[in-house]
Structure 1
C-alpha cells in the first residue's frame, strides 16, 4: 500500500468513528480540514491503545512504537502515514511521546473522579501543547482529559467506570459516571474551531449516555448541523 493510500485509510477509519464530522466540516476552512482530521486520527490511535480488553502486550508494543515515532517527528523523520501530514508542524512531539506511558497506568480502574482525571492529566497537558501548534490554539487540558474519558466509557462500558460510581445496575453506573464527566468538562471554549466542533459532538454522545445508560443513536442531520454551527461560532 502506498503512503497516500495508507494515509487515506487512517483518515477514513477516523471518519467512520465520527460520522458527525461529515455534517460539520463545512464550518471548517477547507485548507484546515486535512490537518485537523490527521491530528484527531492520531489521537484516536492513542484512544485505541488506552481502551483495550484482554492481552495488553500488543497495545503496549504499539505505544512504544508511537513513542519512538513521535521523537522522530521532532527531528523531521517520520515513518507513519499520519506523519507525512503532521511531522512538518513544529510542535513538542517529544513531550507527547514522554506522556504516552500515562495511558498504560490509566487503564487501571480508578477509585473515583479525581483519580480518573489525575491519571490522564499529563497526557491532556501534552496533547494541549501540541494542539496549540497543530491547530493554532491550545484547548483546556482538563477538557482534553474529559473527552478521553468520554471516549473510554463509550468504548469500554462498565469497565471504565470508577469504583465509587459503580452500582448493582450497570446502566445506572454508566449514567452516574457519564454525568460526572460532563459536570467536570470545562464549559469554556478557548480551543480552535475544529476542537470545539468535535468536542461538542463528543459531549453530545456523553450526554445521551448519561440519560440512557447506553450508547444512543445520533440525532438527525439538521440537529447535528445546528449543533456544529453553534460550536463553530463559539456559542
Structure 2
C-alpha cells in the first residue's frame, strides 16, 4: 500500500467513527476540509490510545510511539501516514509531543471535575496552540475551554470503560451551559465539540452511536455560527 492509500485508510477509519463529519464539514471552507479531517483523525488516534480499551498498556505504548513520531515531524522525519497530510505544515509538533504524557495520565479518573480539568490542561494548551496555527486563527482558544471539550470526549469513552470522577458524569456535564464553550476556537474545533456534546445528549437518553444526519447538521450549523 502506498503512502496516499495508507493516508486514505486512516482517514476512512476516523470517518467510520465519526460519520456525522461528512454532513458537518459543509460549514468549513473547502481548503480547510482535508486538513481538518487529518487533524481530527490524529487527535482521535491519540485520545483512543489514551482512553480506549480495558488494558491501558497497549495504549500507553502507542502514545510513547506517537511522542517520538510527533517530535520527529519537526525535523522532517515521518513514519505515520497521517504525516503525509500534516507533517510539513508549520505547526509546533514538539509542543504536542511534550504534552502526550499528560494525556496518558488522564486515563484514570481524578477526584473531581476541577482536578480532571487541571490534568488535561497541558494537552489542551498544546492542542489549542496547534489548532490556531493550523486554521490561521489570531490566537489559541482558551486552555480551560479546550480542556472542557477534551473532558467531554473523555466521558464519551466511559460507557465503554471506567467510572466518572465526581461532577463528570454525563448529566452533570450536560447541565453546564458552557460545555464546551470554545467560542474563540477555530470553526472546525467548534463543530467537533458540538458533535461531541450532541452525542453525550444521546447517551443520556440511552441512545448510542453516531448522530442522525439532521441532528448533526443542526449542531454543526449552530457551532459554525459561533
- TM-score of the aligned structures, taking structure 1 as reference length: 0.85
Q: Is the Cα–Cα contact under 8 Å of residues 70 and 97 in structure 1 kept in the other structure? A: yes
Give matches, 1:98-117, under 5 Å. Answer: 98-117=98-117
- Residues 143-175 of structure 1: CA distance to partner in whole angstroms, max 9, x if unpaired? 32222222222222261401x35xxxxxxx844
Higher helix share: 1
Q: Find the aligned partners of 1:55 and 1:23 in 2 and give their Cα distance.
A: 34
Alignment of 1:49-68 (within 5 A): 49-68=49-68
Match of 2:148 in 1: 146
Tell me how large the CA RMSD over aligned residues is.
Answer: 2.2
Larger-gyration structure (1/2)? 1
Hey, what's the Cα distance between the residues in 2 that align with 1:217 and 1:91? 33
Distance in 1 (CA, whole Å) between partners of 2:41 and 2:68 is 18
| Structure 1 segment 129-208 matched on structure 2, within 5 A | 129-137=129-137, 138-157=140-159, 159-162=162-165, 164-165=166-167, 174-179=169-174, 182-183=176-177, 185-187=179-181, 189-208=183-202
Q: Are the aligned partners of 2:42 and 2:82 in contact in 1 as well (CA < 8 Å)? A: yes
Runs of 4+ in 1 over 6 A off after TM superposition: none
TM-score (norm 2): 0.88
Count of residue pairs the alignment pairs up: 223
Unaligned regions of 5+ residues in structure 1, if any? 166-172
Residue 97 of structure 1 corresponds to 97
Task: Write out per-residue CA displacement over residues 164-220 of structure 1, whole angstroms, 9 at most, x where no aligned residue.
Answer: 35xxxxxxx84444336x4563535111111121111112122333x42x4446554
